[in-house]
Amino acid sequence: MKNYTNIFLSGDGGDELFGGYTFRYKKFLELTTENSTTHQKILAYLDCHERDWVPDQELIFGNESKFNWEEIHQILEPYFNNSLSNLTQVFLADYNGKLLHNMQPLYSSIHEHFDIQNITPIQNKELLQFSCEIPNNQKYDYNSNSGKIVLVNLLKKFNIKHLISPKKQGFSVNTINLWNLYGKRTFLHFFDKSRLVEDKVINFDWIDKHISKNNLDVSYVNKFLGILALEIWYRIFITNEVNPDEKLDF
């Protein structure tokens, strides 16, 4: 696409500001009540991100990583230890976590690397303020499990609703197929002598315990693919032994 232009318009922020993560809202509201404690809501919120972690998550990391669930709970605590409604707390956590400290830094690095100017109209000051002022029922409807209601109404008004999918697409990549086709083979190639393991970032015992299993649960497949990506990044930017322009073909 950059062959045509280096300026792009994106809808980044639409999900966080106007209620696009319907699958998370529904599950969180089913797991919590008005009487849930802050800690219970933090655990429920993490449970709504089950694709991001595995049951033995703390065993993945080596001594240099110092992974600690308690530190993660402390980061999330301000978003759930307040007088806001349960749903508004999720909006707050998503905005501060997903958007500000996950997607924006990641996308900014990609744009900088490829010399791309990305324009995000939804994140302008006026819309940020507007998204904080409209009621939750203009963002998400629990009964129909539909989100971004105010934006959908705009599409209806201008008769262009047919241009979007009726349901949130979410993470649509079939990672099981990816793993079986060449993901596992690629992982084994790089982790024959893993720099992450050598530098005690990742725990070899955890890898050894799960890598040989057939029919791995998708959460473990996703975790292995994430670790593989980290290994390649580590070799490019930390150990400087892989050329970023090199095609991974072996």
Q: For residue 146, which phi and psi values (nearest 5 degrees)?
A: -115, 145
What are the tokens at 200? 């005690």
Residue 60 in any domain: the answer is yes
Instruction: Report the alpha-carbon distance of residue 71 to residue 246 in Å, rounded.
Output: 37
- The CA-based angle 233-236-238, given to 5 degrees, is 85
pLDDT digits (tens, 9 = 90+) for 21-47: 999 999 999 999 999 999 999 999 999
Around Cβ 25, how many Cβ atoms within 10 Å? Answer: 24
pLDDT digits (tens, 9 = 90+) for 151-171: 999 999 999 988 877 766 666
What are the tokens at 186? 């690629």
181 shares a domain with 72: no
159 shares a domain with 36: yes
Instruction: Report the alpha-carbon distance of residue 215 to residue 222 in Å, rounded.
Output: 13
pLDDT of residue 108: 93
Share of the chain above pLDDT 70, in %: 96
What are the tokens at 247? 């095609």
113 shares a domain with 73: yes
Residue 170 in any domain: the answer is no
- Residue-by-residue DSSP string for 191-227: GGG-HHHHTTSB-HHHHHHHTT-SS--HHHHHHHHHH
Instruction: Report the alpha-carbon distance of residue 59 to residue 210 in Å, rounded.
Output: 12
Final residue before a domain boundary, out of 163, 198, 214: 163
pLDDT digits (tens, 9 = 90+) for 157-211: 999 988 877 766 666 789 999 999 999 999 999 999 999 999 999 999 999 999 9
71 shares a domain with 45: yes
Residue 169 in any domain: the answer is no
Around Cβ 36, how many Cβ atoms within 10 Å? Answer: 16
224 shares a domain with 182: yes
Residues 6 or more apart from 182 whose CB is under 8 A from it?
Answer: none
147 shares a domain with 33: yes
Instruction: Report the alpha-carbon distance of residue 184 to residue 221 in Å, rounded.
Output: 9
pLDDT at 139 over 90: yes
Residue 13 in any domain: the answer is yes
Final residue before a domain boundary, out of 133, 163, 193: 163
92 shares a domain with 212: no
110 shares a domain with 202: no
Residue 223 in any domain: the answer is yes
Q: How many domains does the chain have?
A: 2
pLDDT of residue 154: 94
Structural domain harbouring 208 = 175-237
